[in-house]
Amino acid sequence: MAITGTGTQGDPFRPETWEEVLQCTSTDGIYTVLPQNTIFNLNDYFPDGIPTGGIILRGFIDGNGSSIINAHYEGPARAIIMSNSESTGSIKNLNFLNFYLKVTATGATLIGVNSKVTEYGPYSGRAFYNCIFSGLVAATSNVSYCAITQVSDAGSISRCAYNITCVASSANLDTGNYTALNKNCNIRLDHIGVGSFALDNCYMEGNISHCDINSISSNAPSNSSVLNIESNSITASRSNPSMILVNTEKYAGTIPTGMNGVTDNQLKDADYLRSLSFPIIKVY
């Protein structure tokens, strides 16, 4: 089936096959809408694993509820599944499921986007919106640092869900430059050695040995995040710690100044949370 559309915002490209997806997303600034709720199984295209050069998808991509599954890679590359790292663009409504990344070089990154558009407000664009990331990250013994996401130019990751298990003490969520602001995200991380996060209104759970909470500027909004994590250390660096709730029944360390320690029952008590001025959203 031939690709339809002209690649503009009003008339985006509409590919049907994986080969057509790669063809439509090879140029900066192009708009592409994937077929609705389609599964692209990368085992069908890369049975021996993703090539060393990785997969580069550029431009403004609307996944339309589709999923890229079974991406497997072992090597030193950066951003091996999604790399707009040298382009202008954003990605929404696209899921990355059942991936496996085995890192063999420090700094290797699973997914990376450079989002320079300003249409979504002060954070220079929306790198990811309404996406799911679910998979496994490992690393060889020589690797001192690797990351799940690499987002440049203060791109935000908004309304996304993470379900990541790591077999690598060096694994991190962010690249460590704290420009990737997670907004309204649900984050599940297990066996992460070090977590560096810029959070705004997020819920995070799992097992993290050290968690460093950051914001991208001193003007960052009140955090309104919940940390329901097993951890020994939380620090607040370059951060606005107000309205961060930490579950004291899971967290073993000292709660940083400005954060609120709460119990399991208090997390479920709307009246108590209101007494802390923590925002309560009514669900009808």
Strands 156-158 and 126-129: parallel
Residue-wise pLDDT tens digits, 209-236:
888 887 655 555 567 899 999 998 998 8
Flag whether the pTM goes above 0.75: yes
Distance CA(202)–CA(148), nearest Å, equals 17
Residue-wise pLDDT tens digits, 54-65:
787 888 899 999
Distance CA(111)–CA(113), nearest Å, equals 7
CB 147 within 8 A of CB 113: no
User: 18-275 maps to which CATH number?
Assistant: 2.160.20
Q: Is residue 204 packed enough to be buried (19+ CB in 10 Å), middle (13-18) or exposed (0-12)? A: buried
**Which residue in 94, 88, 78, 210 sits closest to 149, CA to CA?**
78
3-class DSSP state for residue 111? strand
Beta bridge partners of 146: 171
pLDDT attached to residue 243: 85
Distance CA(77)–CA(79), nearest Å, equals 7
pLDDT attached to residue 220: 56
Distance CA(79)–CA(95), nearest Å, equals 15
The b-or-e profile of 236-248 (16+ CB within 10 A means b, else e) is beebbbebbbbbe
98-102, 220-224, 227-231, 245-249: least confident range: 220-224
Beta bridge partners of 251: 231
At residue 102 the predicted structure's pLDDT band, cuts being 50, 70 and 90, is: confident
* Residue spans of beta strands (DSSP E) within 115-259: 126-129, 132-139, 146-152, 156-158, 161-168, 171-172, 181-183, 186-200, 203-214, 225-230, 233-236, 244-247
**Most confident stretch, 182-186, 241-245, 248-252:** 248-252
pLDDT over 70 percentage in the chain: 81
Q: Which residues contact 33 (CB under 8 A, 6 or more apart)?
A: 5, 12, 13, 14, 62, 64
pLDDT at 197 > cutoff 90: no
Question: How many other β-carbons are positioned within 10 Å of the β-carbon of residue 261?
Answer: 13
Strands 181-183 and 156-158: parallel
pLDDT at 69 > cutoff 90: yes
Distance CA(156)–CA(242), nearest Å, equals 20
At residue 284 the predicted structure's pLDDT band, cuts being 50, 70 and 90, is: very low
At residue 14 the predicted structure's pLDDT band, cuts being 50, 70 and 90, is: very high
Distance CA(238)–CA(217), nearest Å, equals 7
pLDDT attached to residue 112: 72
- What's the average model confidence in pLDDT over 190-200? 81
Domain ranges of the chain: 18-275
Residue with tokens 């309404």: 130
- What's the average model confidence in pLDDT over 69-91? 74
pLDDT at 86 > cutoff 60: no
pLDDT attached to residue 250: 94
Residue-wise pLDDT tens digits, 119-168:
333 334 567 889 999 999 888 888 887 877 766 655 678 899 999 998 87
3-class DSSP state for residue 63? strand
Residue with tokens 């339309």: 64
